Amino acid sequence: MANTFPCKIVTPTANAFDGVATYVSFPAWDGQYGMLKGLAPLLSTLAPGTLRIDNEEGSASFLIEGGFAHVDGETLTLVTEGALPADEINLEEAKAELAEANARVTSDEKDRLAVERAQQVATAKVALASK
């Protein structure tokens, strides 16, 4: 337990994870971050992608859909719009979701951003389900 730190994944509807970690890797707006015990204070925007939590029992992966990461003291809190465990992702459904997102074409700026976000989430979902 000496090299662990508290980690939480919070969504609008539930706590997706609340435990200890030895290492956490998550996608941020400016690249992939890795966290170990002895965390420095941090506030960062999350990007859609794969979040991995390692602990003494093994490793768990989640698809996250953006949000923010916050380190306060020794605790890493990830507040996200959605966190789906990797083992709950169906590859064929993820591929269909990506095809649907890629088929949407729009010239409206607001819709374009929504389409790009849907493409990012679906691409991350396919990549995670393919592992």
What is the chain's pLDDT, residue by residue, as a tens digit (131 residues)?
579 999 999 999 989 999 999 999 999 989 999 999 988 888 999 999 999 999 998 999 999 988 999 998 889 999 999 899 988 888 888 888 888 888 877 666 677 777 888 888 888 888 888 77
Q: What is the CATH number of domain 5-86?
A: 2.60.15.10
Specify the pLDDT at position 76. Answer: 95
The predicted structure's pLDDT at residue 125:
85
pLDDT of residue 40: 85
Q: Would you kindly state where each structural domain of the chain is located, as residue ranges?
A: 5-86, 90-130
- pLDDT confidence of residue 123: 82
pTM here? 0.80
- The kind and range of the H/E element at 9 are strand 5-10
The pLDDT of residue 107 is: 64
pLDDT at 46: 95
Residues whose CB is less than 8 angstroms from the CB of residue 18 and which lie 6 or more positions away in sequence, other chains included:
7, 8, 9
Tell me which residue of 2, 11, 7, 5 sits closest to 84, measured CA to CA: 11
Q: What is the dihedral of CA 64, 130, 4, 66, to 10 degrees?
A: -10
Q: Does residue 118 contact residue 98 with C-beta atoms inside 8 Å?
A: no
Tell me what pLDDT residue 106 has: 67
